[in-house]
Amino acid sequence: DIQLTQSPSFQSASVGERVTITCRASQDITSNLAWYQQQPGKVPKLLIYAASTLQSGVPSRFTGSGSGTEFTLTISSLQPEDFASYYCQQLDSYPWTFGQGTKVDVK
């Protein structure tokens, strides 16, 4: 199975700050990676697929980049509703696997 490792596991940040989360895959997954946001008590929401394509309706302050084994999710200017947990997911082969998550909380 393909393993995904996210860093950091926790990130404290302030509104307006730039936040970057990294996801590393245990093998080459080309661009077959998605990012999800899960606000507290809510259902996960798809943010980005194919490593860098923004899902419809997602604000442009979210960007994804990378290919192969290293990927990043960047929030250019953190908004109050962005305090949440973020997960990467590989879509290269079943079984789908998720990273362990990154929780972004208030500094």
Partner 1 sequence: EVQLVESGGGLVQPGGSLRLSCAASGFTVSTNYMSWVRQAPGKGLEWVSVIYSGGGTYYADSVRGRFSISRHNSRNTLFLQMNSLRAEDTAVYYCARDSFLRGLARGMDVWGQGATVIVSS
Closer CB to partner 1, 17 or 31, in the complex: 31
Identify which range of 10-18, 63-71, 72-80, 89-97 contacts partner 1 by CB under 8 A: 89-97
Nearest approach, Cβ of residue 61 and partner 1 (Å)? 19
Place of tokens 């962005």: 82
Nearest approach, Cβ of residue 10 and partner 1 (Å)? 13
By CB under 8 A, tell whether 99 contacts partner 1.
yes
| Size of residue set near partner 1 by CB under 8 A | 26
Residue 10 makes CB contacts below 8 A (sequence gap 6+) with: 102, 103, 105
